[in-house]
Amino acid sequence: MAPPEIPTSLPSTELIAYSNAHNLIAEAATLCTIPTLTVLLRCYTMILAMVMAIATLICIILQVPLGLGKYTSVIQMDPVKYQHLLKTRYAHQIICNAAVTIVKISVAHFLLRFATMKAYRVIFYCLNSFLLAFMLACTGTLGTFDLLDDAMCTAKWFSKTTFGEFALFNAVINCLIDFLLAILPVPLIWQISLNLRTRISLLVILSLEIFAGATGVFRATVSNTTLQDPRRFVHNKWMMWNHVELNVGIVAGVASCIETIVHTGAKRGTREDCCQIG
């Protein structure tokens, strides 16, 4: 069903009845299922990130009865539900940002096995510090979602413009790191004593980081407008693209899966060399 026009006055009956929640749940569940199966079948090193990804899916599901999928003007008709929705989204954002960081750290530490590069550690320590600051949107934490008491009066808020700039900076940093994690391994992997097929397989897996970076680009495009968008809860673009980035990153960062390919390729390469020598 196509969404009705953006309301200019009180929400109509059609607008109140409309919800895009079922599409959002289907998209989020599909994205979460793929890396879940990958982790359960091939590795244990990304369990923490996967648990957090499942937690973000649960947060999305919990937001549906609170109004996710509906227009902002409709949701705000019930201030209590709107408050609970913002609380759930706040928890969602903390978990998702932390999980995205864990995935990047996992990939970086995997690459450190091939070449010791201290720059990786510095980058991710800085990213962790930034994410911590970003999660604390205002000095009175309750002010982020508490619409019904004095917290709104005592909390010191960033302006919507400043908050949007923080979100854009966060998305840009994540994009740059994703692209670096996809590009830097190319010369490292090419120097490993592996057959061509295994090298290409490794590069294809790590190139998923490029896709994760691309999702960050899409997320960045909505960072400055999402707070003013009356349909921001209908399509939930910011959080859905963040969910895509997290789950694609988990698939790309399953280190033990990549290790299996490396060991298999090394054994095959050794057998091929022995056959050639014989």
Q: DSSP H helical segments within the chain, as ranges?
A: 13-17, 21-42, 47-63, 72-75, 79-111, 118-135, 151-154, 160-183, 185-190, 196-206, 208-221, 232-235, 237-252, 255-277
Residue 58: the pLDDT is 92
Residue 158: the pLDDT is 60
* Lowest pLDDT segment from 1-10, 47-56, 266-275: 266-275
Residue 61: the pLDDT is 92
Separation CA 242–CA 223 (nearest Å) = 11
Q: How is residue 147 written in tokens?
A: 């619409």
Q: What is the pLDDT of residues 164-184, one digit of tens each?
A: 677 777 777 778 877 877 777
**H or E stretch covering 4:** none
Question: What confidence tier does 116 reach under pLDDT thresholds 50, 70, 90?
Answer: low
Higher pLDDT, 10 or 146: 10
Separation CA 245–CA 261 (nearest Å) = 24
- Does position 237 have pLDDT exceeding 70, yes or no? yes
Question: What average pLDDT is seen over the chain?
Answer: 72
Q: What is the pLDDT of residues 71-93, one digit of tens each?
A: 888 888 888 888 888 888 888 88
- Does position 256 have pLDDT exceeding 70, yes or no? no
Residue 139: the pLDDT is 43
Q: Is the pTM of this model over 0.85?
A: no
Separation CA 136–CA 93 (nearest Å) = 11
Q: Based on the number of CB atoms within 10 Å of its own CB, is 233 exposed (0-12), middle (13-18) or buried (19 or more)?
A: buried
Domain ranges of the chain: 17-269
DSSP state of 11: P
Residue 14: the pLDDT is 84
Separation CA 224–CA 117 (nearest Å) = 34
- Does position 120 have pLDDT exceeding 70, yes or no? no
